[in-house]
Amino acid sequence: MPKKIGGLNNLQMLTDFVLGEQHGIDIKQLEKLNQLRGKLQISGLENVIDHADAVAANLEDKEHLEELIMSYDQWREIDGSVTKAHVSILEALKPNRNLMRLTIKDYRDIRFPNWLRDHHLPNLVSLELLGCKLCSKMPPLGQFPSLKKLSISGCDRIKIIGTEFYGDDSSNVPFRSLETLRVERMSEWKEWLCLEGFPLLQE
């Protein structure tokens, strides 16, 4: 990947954007690549330590992207805990509301970002939360109007999937479009407070 890729303003295809000192690539180079479309994977997000750099990536203006994979490869830890600098990075990487498919892999903050709610991603049809080992509570996913496929795996600190999972809009049936649900490899999971919903669930 060229080190000056950020200057290719009309670039439309970029399947894997790999961050890290060894590649000479930082996330700010995404700032002007607003013509990207189709699928984009951002790998090595653990290398982003400055909130301002994440904001500068300007993901919210990339309206042509259909699929986004956000991947943390290795985490720098101090005394077993995530450094404070990492806490707000994913919050700043808010995708465009047109996004249809999202994967968050090996995220190690204690909570999911606030933008992972139905009102910001109304067109989301597929969501995968994989290896988010420090998150202790699920985000409110039940009111995503278009969500058809949901996969949750390796979220080791989740003990209870409670009412917050369904969202707070009592006027709509939770998970009204969901067809496929997979929950696996949850080492601490003990309880699911199951409410009515899932009218289209097949597997």
Across residues 141-161, what is the average pLDDT? 93
- Locate tokens 């700032």: which residue? 31
Query: How close are the terminal C-alpha atoms of the chain, in Å?
Result: 40
- Region label for 144, one of left (φ > 0), alpha (ψ between -120 and 50) or beta (otherwise): beta
pLDDT at 192: 86
Across residues 67-73, what is the average pLDDT? 93
Across residues 92-116, what is the average pLDDT? 93
Token pair in block for residue 174: 């939770």
> Does 23 score more than 80 pLDDT?
no
Across residues 122-140, what is the average pLDDT? 93
Cβ(65)–Cβ(96) under 8 Å?
yes
DSSP for 14-43 reads -SEEE-BGGGTB-GGGGTT-TT--EEEEEE
Instruction: Provide the β-strand partners of residue 108.
Output: none
> Does 87 score more than 60 pLDDT?
no
Q: What is the pLDDT of residues 189-199, one digit of tens each?
A: 888 887 778 88
pLDDT at 79: 44
> What is the DSSP code (8-state) at residue 110?
S
Across residues 158-165, what is the average pLDDT? 88
The helix (run of H) or strand (run of E) holding residue 182 is strand 180-184
pLDDT at 102: 98
The Cα-based distances of 132 to 3, 63, 75, 129, 195 in angstroms read 30, 26, 12, 7, 24
Q: How many CA atoms lie within 13 A of 139 on its CB side?
A: 21
pLDDT at 3: 63
Cβ(59)–Cβ(94) under 8 Å?
yes
Cβ(46)–Cβ(74) under 8 Å?
yes
| Domain boundary assignment for the chain | 5-192
> Does 92 score more than 90 pLDDT?
yes
Across residues 72-97, what is the average pLDDT? 70
> Does 115 score more than 90 pLDDT?
yes
Instruction: Provide the β-strand partners of residue 16.
Output: 41
Q: Which CATH number applies to 5-192? A: 3.80.10
Type of residue found at 78: I
CA dihedral 133, 126, 184, 70 (to 10 degrees): -30
- Place 178 in a pLDDT band, splitting at 50, 70 and 90: very high
pLDDT at 91: 92
pLDDT at 141: 92
Q: Which is more confidently placed, 2 or 200?
A: 200
Burial of 35 (0-12, 13-18, 19+ CB in 10 A): middle
Token pair in block for residue 179: 């067809």
pLDDT at 88: 81
Q: Which is more confidently placed, 25 or 135?
A: 135
Instruction: Provide the β-strand partners of residue 105.
Output: 71, 130
